[in-house]
Structure 1
Amino acid sequence: MVPWQDRAAAKRAQLHASIPSAWLLPASTLAAPPSDVRSIPRSSGILSELELKITEEDNAAVILEKIRSREWSSEQVTLAFCKRAAIAQQLTCCLTEILFDRALKRAKELDEHLETTGEVVGPLHGLPVSLKEQFDIEGVESTMGFVSRIGHNSSSSAVLVSLLESLGAIPHCRTNIPQTLLSDESTNNVFGRTLNPSNTSLTAGGSSGGEAALLAMRGSPLGVGTDLGGSIRKPASFTGLYSLRPTSRRLPYAGASNIFAGAEALESVLGPMANSLESLEVFMKAVVGAKPWEWDSRVIEREWKEQEEEGRKCFAIMRWDGLVRCHPPIERALDEVTEALRKAGHEVVDWEPLDHAGAQEIVSKIFDSDGGEDVKQWLGDSGEPIMPQVFTSQHPAMSAHESWQLNKKRDEYRQLFLKTWLATATSTQTGRPIDAIICATAPHLAAPHLESPRPGGLITYTTVWSLLDLPCYTFPVGVVDEQKDPQPLAGAYTPVSEVDKENWEGYSPELYKNAPVVLQVINPRRFREDELLGLGGDIEKALGR
C-alpha cells in the first residue's frame, strides 16, 4: 500500500497544478508574505482593474444586476473570482477542489443564453459560488479531508448543488475543512492548514475555515458552509464576515457528505457566508424561493417573507456566558452596538445566560454518543492518524436508551429557554418578548493556531444556540484597536476558572493584530430567518452602514 503521506502529497501537487501558470504568485512573494495578505491580490498584477472592481464588490445583488443588464458578462465575473480564488489558495491554503475550467465553460453558456433569449435562467444567473468540501458534485473528487477518500469521485451532486445550478449559480471551487470537521482549526493531512488572511499567525476557524478565508480574500462573492456547533459562525467571526446559521431542515442538506450522518440529537445545518448582509438575503430568497422542500424531503415548507419596517425593537445583550469572559475588543463591540441601537430608538436590555454549563454538558455527550465509531469509519485503513486539533470521543458508545435520556435533557433545556424567553414580555417596553439576543460567537478573537482541541468552556457561545436550534446571524463590528483595546492590567479581573483565566490573560492587542471583531444575533423563534436578517438590517442602520 502507498504510504498515506505520499498519497496526500500527490493530491496537494495535483491541486497546485490545476492553477494556471499565469495566476501563480512569484516565489519571492510566497517566501516572505506579510502577516496580512489581503492586499496581495490587488498588488499582484494578476487581476485587471475591471477584475479588481468585480471582486471587491461586496453585494452579490449588485453583481447579479450587472450581469443581468449585460454591463458585466458572467464569463468576466467568473474569471475574476477564479483568479482571486487561485491567489487566495496560494496564500491561505483555503481550497480543496479547483473547478475553474468547468465554471468558465458554464459561464459562457449562460452568457450565450442571455444574449439569445434576453432572459436569465434564474435569480443567481452567472454568479460564482464557492462550496465547503462537504457538497458533493457529480464527477468531482470528494475527499472530505481524509486520505482514505483520495480518488473517490462523487456519483451524484448534493441536492443544494443541483438546486443552485438550476438557479444559474456557478460553483467555481470547494473549500478546506478540518479532519473530521470536529475542530476550531481547518487543517487536515490531505490539504494542510488554512490561514487567516487578516493575520496568518491566527486561525481561520473551523469547520468552514477554508470558506471563510476564501471570502475574506474576496475569492468568492457568496459561499456555503455548514454548522453543527458553530462551524459557520466562528470562522465568519474570525475572518470578519456576515453569515447565517439557519434552523435545521430549513435548507436542503440531502446528498452532502457529513460526519455523524443520521444523528438527529443535534443536527448540522448549511448556510450562506458573505461580505454583506445583502448577499445572505440573495442566497436565502433564491434557495427558499425554489421550494427546497420539493428537493429534499426533510426540509420544512415555509416561504420567505419580506420584512417591513415595524418600528422599535427590543434587543437583549448577553455580555458573557457565565463561564468565560470575552476579550476586551469584544466587550467594546457589545458596548458600541448597544449605544448605536439606543441612539436609533431601540430598546436594549440584558440577557442572563441560561445554564450554559449544563447545556454544554449535553452537547459534549451528544458529540460523544457513538464512541468515535463514525470517525473510525471515515479514516478507514489508510493508516492516517487522528490530528491533535480534533475533538475525539472520550467515552464508550451510548445505548439507544441512554441516547433517549440525553434527548429528554435537550428537550427540557429547550422548554426552559422557551419559558424564559416568553416571560420577557412582562418587562420590555414593547410589550412583547425580546426580538433578539446579541452576543459574542466566542469569548476570544481568532486564536493563534491550535495544536489541541478547544476546551468545552470556550465553545458555549455557539453550541448553546445549536442545542436550541435557533437561527443565528453574524455581523462584523470592527477590528482590534491597540488604543481602544489595551491589554488589561494585572488583577483587574478575577477569573472564575482556569479556562477563564487562560483566555483572559492570553489577550494582547499585539498578538491579535488586525483580528476582526464580530458579533452574533440570535432569533428566539425557529424558522424565522427572514425576520432575523430583517433585524440584521436594523442593526446595520443603527451602525450607520
Structure 2
Amino acid sequence: MPKEWETLAKKKREAILEAIPQEWRINNPPNDQQLDVTGAYIHQYLTPREVEITETTADDIVKQTTTGRWSAEEVTRAFCHRAALAHQLTNCLHEIFFSAALTTAKSLDAHYAQHNKPLGPLHGLPISLKDQFHVRDVETTMGYVGWIGTFEGRERTAKSPIFESEMVRELRDAGAVLFCKTAVPHTLMSGETVNNIIGYTWNPRNRNLSAGGSSGGEGALIGLRGSPVGFGTDIGGSIRIPAGFNGLYGIRPSGGRLPYEGMANSMDGQNSVLSVVGPLGTSVAGLRLVIKALLERRPWLYDPLVLELPWRDELEREVSEVTGKVGDAGMVGKLCFGVFESDGIVGPTPPVRRAVKIVVEKLKELGHVVVEWKPPPHKAILSEGMKSWWYDGGHDVKSVFALSGEPMAPQVAFYQDLEKEFSGSEIAATNVRLRQLKKEYMDYWNSTETVTGTGRPVDAIITPLAPFPAARPEMYSYYGYSTWVNVLDYTSVVVPVTNVDKEVDLVDKDYVPIDEGDKKVYDSYDPEIYDGAHVSLQLVGRRLQEEKMLAIAEYVGKAIGK
C-alpha cells in the first residue's frame, strides 16, 4: 500500500497535469530518445503565431502590448500553451492558473480599449514566479508534501486564499499577467530541482542534465520560452545557476534592492546571508524592464528591508559612455575586468575554461583591460558563510518533512545528519568574521585601481558560476563559485557564452586534481553526455550596482554574439 505522503504527492502531481487543457496534452518521449526539446522540437506543437509571440523578448512584448498592437489575451494564451508543453517535457511547474491569467489579460485589454493607454509599464506581459511567492487563490507548497492543503504547513485561515506577497501586488499594479508558479527543490537548498511532488526538473537543452536550482523550474520554463521573464530567489546561486544552465540572463541583486516581503522561505529569520529576489529571462533588456517597473512602485514604502534606492540612469550611462554607445567620441575609454578562472579549491571543467577564454579574448580585442583577479582566499568566505545554512541544526527543514513523513531527496539529505544548533554567541562571532572578510575583499578591490590603467578599480569580475556547464543528477558537489557572491552580497549577472562541443571540449587527461573534491567534480565531466549544453559565466560587481552590471552584461553579451 502506498504511504499517505505518496498518495498526497500523486494527487497533487495529477492535479497539476489536469490543469492543462486536453488539447495541449502531448506524449513525452523518454529523455534518452529526445535529449533536446527546445527549438524545432517544441515548435511542432505550436502555431507560427504562437512561436512568434513566445520567442519575442519581454521588452519587445511590452512594445506591442502597451501600444495596443498585440492583445494581452493573445500573448497570455500563447505563453500558457507553451508553458503547458514545457511542464510535460521537463517537470517545471508547481501551480497552473491559466484561467485566472486569461481573465486578467482580458481585463487589461478592456482597460486599453476604454482608456487608450496601458495600465502600467508591464501591461500584458506574462510573468512566471518561483513557488515561494504567495498568489491569491493559488497554493504554495515549495515542493513539500506537508504543505499541500495548508498555508506554509499551518492550517488555512480566511485570509490564506487572498494573501499575496508584496512583489505580486506590485507586479499586478504594473500591468503584469501572472500565470504559473515554478518548481523548486524541497528546502530550496540545492542546485538541482527535485521533490516528491513533481520529481526531477530536467534541462530542456540536454535532458541528461539538471535545469539547476533552486529556481530550476524558472530556468527550464524560460529556457523553453514558456515564459518571457520570471522571478526566482538566490541565497547560494539559485537565480544564477538555473539562468546559466539554461542559456539565460539572470541577476542576483544585492540585499535590500527588491521586495521579499510576504514570501515563503526556508530557515526564515537567518539574517547572516540573506536570500534575495531577482529576475531571469531571455534578454538583459527584459531584466531591466521588470526591475525598473518594480522600483517605480516605491517598494521601500511597503517592505521594511528594501532600501530607498530608485533606478539610477547615471550608472548605466557611465558604461554606455565608456563603450561608445552614447555620448561623444571623446568619452570613449576602457572598461576593466578582473578574470578569475579558478578559485583554487575546485577547477572549472574544459567547456567553462573555454567560455572564459572566449569572453576575455573578445574584450581584449575591443580594447578593454583584463587583469588577473587575485583576491583574498575564498575558502574562509565559504566556510563562514555556509555556517548560516545550518545555524538551527536543520530544525526548520526537518520539522517540515515531519509533517508528512516524506523522505529527503539525496541532494539535501545532509540536513538529516545535522544536530548542533549554534548559540547566539556563535552566530554573533560568525557575523563579526563575515564583516571582517567583507572589508578585506573591499580593500583588495579598491587596490586594483593601481593596475587597471583606467583611473578606476576593476569594473567587473569574469568568473564561472559553477565548475561545470550544468549538473548531472546527484553530482552537484561544489557551490563555491556562486556562494561567495552571496556571502559578500555583491551584484552578479549571468551571461550565456557558448555551448559544449564534444569535439572541442575534450577531457584534459593531464589535469592533476587539487584534492578528492576537485577530482569528484572533474570526473563528472563527460563530453558525450554534455554535448550541446549551454555554457555561461557570471559578471560580478560591487554591492548595489545593479544598473551598472546590467549595462556591462548587455555589452558583453552583444560583443560575443549573445
TM-score range, shorter chain: over 0.9
Tell me the amino acid that sits aligned with residue 291 of structure 1: R
Flag the 1:387–1:26 CA change in 2: closer, same or farther, 3 A.
Answer: closer
- For the pair 1:5 / 2:6, whether they are aligned, the reply is yes
Query: Paired residue for 2:488?
Result: 468
Residues 173-192 of structure 1: matches in 2 within 5 Å? 173-192=180-199
Q: Which amino acid aligns with 2:399?
A: Q
- Of 437, 445, 448, 1:421 maps to 445
Shift of 1:485: 1.2
User: Match for 1:438 among 462, 469, 474?
Assistant: 462
- Structure 2: tracts of 5 or more residues without a match: 152-159, 323-333
State the partner residue of 1:25. Answer: 26
Helix, strand or coil at the partner of 1:253: coil
Q: Which residue number in structure 1 is paired with residue 327 of structure 2?
A: none
Aligned residues: 535
Residue identity matched to 1:54: I
Is the CA contact 1:320–1:353 (under 8 Å) kept in the aligned structure 2? no
Contact 2:144-2:195 at 8 Å conserved across structures: yes
> 2:243 aligned with 1:236, yes or no?
yes
The AA in structure 1 aligned to 2:376 is L
Taking the aligned partners of 1:150 and 1:128, their CA distance within structure 2 comes to 26
How far has the Cα of 1:400 moved from its partner?
0.5
8 A contact 1:368–1:394 mirrored in 2: yes
2:548 matched to 1:528? no
**Which whole-Å CA distance do the structure 1 matches of 2:197 and 2:511 have between them?**
43
8 Å contact kept, 1:41–1:87: no
SS at match of 2:256: coil
Q: Quick one: distance in 2 between partners of 1:381 and 1:209?
A: 24
Aligned match for 2:71, one of 66, 73, 82: 73
Q: 2:528 aligns with which of 497, 500, 510?
A: 510
Contact kept, 8 Å, 2:90 with 2:204, in 1: the verdict is yes
415-424 or 347-356: which moved more? 347-356
Amino acid at match of 1:366: S
The answer to whether the 8 Å contact 2:54/2:225 transfers is yes
What is residue 35 of structure 2 aligned with on the other side?
A: 35
- Which residue is 2:267 aligned to? 260
Identify if the C-alpha distance between structure 1 residues 463 and 476 changes in structure 2 by more than 3 Å, giving closer, same or farther: same
In the alignment, the residues of structure 2 paired with residue 157 and residue 40 of structure 1 have an alpha-carbon distance, to the nearest angstrom, of: 37
Residue of structure 2 equivalent to 1:357: 379
- Give the CA deviation at 1:185: 1.4
User: Is contact 1:321-1:353 (8 Å) kept?
Assistant: no
Q: Indicate the percent of aligned positions where both proteins have the same amino acid.
A: 41
Aligned runs of 1:130-169 on 2, under 5 Å? Answer: 130-152=128-150, 154-155=160-161, 156-169=163-176
SS of residue in 1 equivalent to 2:179:
strand
Matched, 1:104 2:111: no
Closer, same or farther: CA 33–118 of 1 in aligned 2, 3 Å: farther
What amino acid is aligned across from residue 384 of structure 1 in structure 2?
E
TM-score by length of 1: 0.95
Match runs of 1:76-95 below 5 Å: 76-95=74-93
Supply the distance in 2 between the matched residues of 1:85 and 1:205 (Cα, whole angstroms): 18
Kept in 2: contact 1:130–1:222 (CA 8 A): yes
CA shift for structure 1 position 186:
0.4
Residues in 1 aligned to 2:98 and 2:385: alpha-carbon distance in whole angstroms: 39
Query: The residue matched to 1:476 in structure 2 has which SS?
Result: strand
TM-score by length of 2: 0.92
The aligned runs of 1:54-69 (5 Å cut-off) are 54-57=53-56, 59-69=57-67
- Post-superposition Cα deviations, 1:174-202, rounded to whole Å, max 9, x if no partner, equal 00000111112101112211011011111
- Within the candidate set 326, 337, 344, 2:359 is matched to 337
In structure 2, the partner of 1:370 is 392
Deviation at 1:224, TM superposition (A): 0.4
- Please, which runs of 5 or more residues in structure 1 have no aligned partner? none
Aligned to 1:538: 555
**Which residue in 2 is equivalent to 1:319?**
341
Tell me how far 1:432 sits from its aligned partner: 1.3
Structure 1 pair 539–396 and aligned structure 2 pair: CA distance change class (3 A) = same
Q: Does 1:15 align with 2:16?
A: yes
Q: CA deviation at 1:32?
A: 7.3
SS at match of 2:348: coil
2:434 paired with 1:410: yes
Asked whether the equivalents of residues 371 and 394 of structure 1 are also in contact (C-alpha less than 8 Å), the reply is yes
Counterpart Cα distance in 1 of 2:504 and 2:353: 11
- SS of corresponding position for 1:63: helix
